[in-house]
Amino acid sequence: MRIFHLSDDLPADARGAVLAIGNFDGVHIGHRRVIAETRDIARGLGVPSAVLTFEPHPRRLFTPEAPPFRLSSLDVKARVLDGLGVDLLFVAAFDRAFAAIPAVAFIDDMLLARLGVRHVVVGDDFRFGHRRQGDIGLLRARAQAAGFGLSPAPTVLDAAGAAVSSNTIRAALATGDTTAAEGLLGRPWEVDGTVVHGDARGRALGFPTANLDIDDYLHPARGIYAVRVGIAGAAGTRWHDGAASFGLRPQFDGTEARLEVHLLDFDGDLYGATLRVVFHAYLRGEERFADVDALVAQIRRDVEEARRVLAAVPSPGDRPAGRG
């Protein structure tokens, strides 16, 4: 998959695609319906399939004081879209100037003049343009006038009949329900981040951890997780089983939530590395113990439980495309 910023000079073969438009935060099973339709129409027309997404997420621009909420970084989103067979990814810088573009100008200047779209695929509740004034009705009218195709993809429902949404997944992760989140995402939830220096308490306890800066990612339920950890290298990503802690570290009176990952059977320096952390199971909540010895004994049990859980989980290389 080739990636372009909307401000780039686009080559001729990046124009004329079938284009899906949206934030696609998490690239969940509802988004995948849109992507699948985009890919199928593109194959029928013999043109590339493409996605237009926005960075940063519009919510961050309009509500900068909101707590962290993102399900996927741009890198994770791109990796999943690539696995789903998307040919082109266009990234629009979502700033005040972009947010002020009128809906008709978004169609005429961005979709037509800039991208030369052949066909557009969006969710049936898609809104766009300044103050979200554009809707499916406007897009359909402009499509008919300008001669490009339009397909509103129907909403995907979960087993309970509710619409699948990024907010539903956020709510599941906030309670530690990694199973529900995985079902709605179509893959285990994954974050990525840079390893930063911590207070080295894990190493002193006999369980060294990599402390990750997860920036604007959603904060999941505080506690301990069984995870797989990917380390990028020249020969590709190397995966390790791990146990992760997300929370305040009440044993040591912490005040700032952190993601700390212990890689099983690993010995090496990870400072400055970018890690992929895939959440497979929520093992327990965050606790304060009677003393440090009790904490260490529980960490040993957590590590063994993570090892047991992960023994039944296929390695990332065994998963179908688009599953992380």
Domain's final residue, options 153, 181, 207? 153
pLDDT in tens, 27-78: 999 999 999 999 999 999 999 999 999 999 999 999 999 999 999 999 999 9
Q: Which residues form the domain of 196?
A: 189-318
pTM for the full predicted model: 0.92
pLDDT of 324 reads 47
The CA–CA distances, whole Å, from 276 to 31, 105, 213 equal: 22, 38, 12
The residue among 129, 153, 177 that closes a domain is 153
- Whether residues 143 and 193 fall in one domain: no
Tokens linked to 156: 């995907």
Percent of the chain with pLDDT over 70: 97
pLDDT of residue 317 exceeding 90 = no
Choice between 300 and 7, residue whose per-residue pLDDT is larger:
300
Regarding whether 28 and 146 lie in a shared domain, the answer is yes
* Per-residue CA distances from 63 to 38, 115, 145, 193 (Å): 31, 29, 36, 23
- CA 89, CA 87: separation in Å to the nearest integer? 7
Q: How far apart are CA 315 and CA 237, in angstroms?
A: 12
Domain CATH for 102: 3.40.50.620
Which residues does 116 contact at the CB level (< 8 Å), separation at least 6? 15, 16
For 73-114, the pLDDT digits (tens) are 999 999 999 999 999 999 999 999 999 999 999 999 999 999
228/95 same-domain check: no
Question: Over the stretch 110-165, which tens digit does the pLDDT of each residue have?
Answer: 999 999 999 999 998 899 999 999 999 999 999 999 999 999 998 999 888 999 99
Sheet with strand 119-123: strands edge to edge: 2-5, 88-93, 49-55, 18-21, 119-123, 149-153
Q: For position 265, which CATH number holds? A: 2.40.30.30
261 lies in some domain = yes
The tally of domains found in the chain comes to: 2
Residue that terminates a domain, selected from 126, 153, 180:
153
